[in-house]
Each structure stands twice: as structure tokens, then as C-alpha cells.
Amino acid sequence: MLNLDLTGAEILGRAGLHRDGLSFADGVIVDAPVGRAVDLSGYLVLPGIVDVHGDGFERHLAPRRGAMKDMAEGLIAVEAELAANGITTATLAQFISWEGGVRGLEFAEEVFSHLRDVAPKMVTDLRGQLRFETYQLELYDELPAKMDEWGLRYIVFNDHLPHDRLKEGRQPRRLVSQALKARRSPENHLALMQSLESYADEVPSALDWLCGQLGQRGIAMGSHDDATAPQRAAWAKRGVNVAEFPETLEAAEAAKEGGGIVVMGSPNVVRGGSHNLNVSAVDLIAMGYCDALASDYHYPSARRAALMLWQNGMLDLAGAWSLVSAGPAAVLGLSDRGTLEAGKRADMVVLDRDSLRVAATLVQGRVSYMSGDIAARFMG
């Protein structure tokens, strides 16, 4: 663990960039010099990125069939990618879904068990998020205990059943490809969906019970892809405070008016809109309806989205960067990070001032990533 005084750099504080220097000792930012100075002239020092929802890890844990024999090795590769993109706290979003395959219960148990055992040995703070398909009523009774067993503190509720087509007796889209991924015949996959659809009247009350159990444990809860104000109101009544990736302005507005937290995807900002033609994250940010940005499926997009919002003049740097640092930290209830202030964790990302590329990433004063000329400065 390094004890250093960073000098010469532009450092992002709550009011914007300053050149007053930054010192940290024993993994914590301090308000007085500690003795060894590192000249970071030509660099920006920003709070480490807190990623509240990302599934880009799947390419490392589930590459081509049979290629990953040791999931712990996959998690090491995940951490390397996270660190290279300035992410100091990462939430790995893993499904438990009737869809099967890499979204099935068996794969999720493997992911969460390895994450629980391997994460404490990592530099990056790796956490898990359970993305739970709501129509799996057979799992409700055991789920709170499973959350405890895996050390999970965040759950997001999803519903990917094609309700309209099932009710109308039409074949769901992509049935064959989904069935093959789940290693089922198309006929069995369709029969499963039809069986789950029959639970429609039971799901709301079951969710009331489950959310009550999870809320008593202090577990953060979110809904995914809300489309209407009534949907968001129903979740809010259950204590589900986070609205992840609302699909419409109506749903996002309802979340904010109800005191909820809205999380949008960074790729939505980078691309200039949703790939599913849902509401634009940029529009929600402009209206003040977005509290945090997540990497979603692409880890580099968190940094790029915040910088784009700053460079195009939509927000100042402090406001833009808070969407990937302080905002996500608040979603996760982590008051010890997200800003560069005395008493907070020494979690930071150092960017080259000209290129704005990641030069170094530090987590609690420990180097998780460093590349290029900056290494010589730290090594003296």
C-alpha cells in the first residue's frame, strides 16, 4: 500500500478541478502531506469509477464452450479489464433465469461462489448483483438464504417472458436460438415459457413477500426496464428503490417523483441513444432524471460517457464524473468512496490530460493498473 503526495496534477474535487495536491496514507485520503511526492503534471486525477451494473465479464467467464476450465482465472482477467478502464468498484450483474445456459441457476451458483471466494484477494472491489427473473416462483423460499450464502447485497428484478405472444398463442421471437443456448428443444423451451406464464396471477403477491424478506436484510433492490408509471409505482410500494434502465420518460419521471434512483447505461450515452430504441440516457440526464451511469455491457463506456458529457458542455466535469463515481456509490450505499476527500478511500483513476486515456488506477492506495510513462514517476 502506497503513502504518497500527488502534486502537479489537476485533481477533481466537488467544486471542480484544482491543483492543491492530494495525499493518501494506509489506503485513505488525508488532509496533510505524508512525505514522498509524485509529480503528476500533465495528468488528471479523478475519483475511481464505481460500476453499479456490468455484465461485460461474461466474455471472460463463459467464452467458447469448454474454453474456461477455471472460473477463478476468468475473474482475474475480468479485474484486469476493469482496472484498465478506471473502475475501482465493480458490480458483476449475473442472471438467475428460466432462460438457462449462462443465465441459469447452475452457472450463477458457480459465478457467485467463485466471486465470494476470489474477490477478497483482488485489488479491485468486486461485488455481485443478482438479476432475478420474477416468474421463478419455485426459487422464492430459498432466495433470501442464498443471497446471504453468496454474500450478495443487491438484487434487480427482471421479466423477460414474451407475455403478449404467449397469451395470443404466437411463437416467441428467437425461440430456436434461445432454446439451443439453454440446451433444450424448442418444444420444451416453449412449454416452459407457457408454464411460467400460467403463474401471472400469483407473481405480484409472491413479490410482495420476497421484497419484504430482502428489505429486512437491508439488501438494495432494483427493477429493470420499467416502461410505465404504474409499474414503477408497484415496485416502489415494495421498497424497490432503484430503477435500472427505464425504457420510457414516463417511467423515469415516475421514479424520480417517487424518490427513487434512476440508473442508465453508459453505452446509451456513447451511442447517442438506446440500441433498443428506448428513451435516451442523454435526454434523461438533461432533464435531471438520471442519478448514475453503469457500464452495462461495455466497461470502457463508463469513462467515455462521463467525458463526452463534459466535453460537449452538457455538464461540468464534476457533474459528469459524479454519474460514474459518487452517484453509483450512493446506489450501493457506499459512503466511503465516490469523491476525493479526506477520510474517503484512496480510490482514483489517473488520466493523461491530452488523450484522456487511463494511465493508472489505484484502489485504497494500491495500484490495480498502470501503463506507460507514468510508471517511472511513481517509481521515482
Task: Report whether pLDDT(68) > 60.
Answer: no
Task: Report whether pLDDT(143) > 60.
Answer: yes
Nearest to 44 by CA among 363, 377, 354: 354
% of the chain with per-residue pLDDT over 70: 97
pLDDT at residue 63 in the model: 66
pLDDT at residue 275 in the model: 63
Q: How confident is the model at residue 163 (pLDDT cuts 50, 70, 90)?
A: very high
- How many C-beta atoms lie closer than 10 Å to residue 54's C-beta? 26
Q: Round the average pLDDT of the chain to a whole number and report it.
A: 94
Task: Report whether pLDDT(67) > 50.
Answer: no
- In the chain the domains, ranked by start, together with CATH numbers, are 1-47+339-380 (2.30.40.10), 49-160+200-337 (3.20.20.140)
Tell me how far apart the alpha carbons of residues 266 and 323 are, in angstroms, rounded to a whole number: 10
Q: How confident is the model at residue 379 (pLDDT cuts 50, 70, 90)?
A: confident
**Average pLDDT score over residue span 75-94:** 96
DSSP H helices, the chain, are 58-61, 71-84, 105-118, 143-150, 163-168, 175-181, 186-197, 203-216, 229-237, 249-257, 266-271, 281-286, 301-311, 317-322, 326-331, 374-379
Grid cell 460514474 — which residue?
324
**Average pLDDT score over residue span 211-235:** 96
**Average pLDDT score over residue span 2-23:** 95
What secondary structure does DSSP assign to 234-286, as a single string? Answer: HHHHTT--EEES-SSHHHHHHHHHTT-EEEEEHHHHHHTS-TTS---HHHHHH
Grid cell 496534477 — which residue?
9
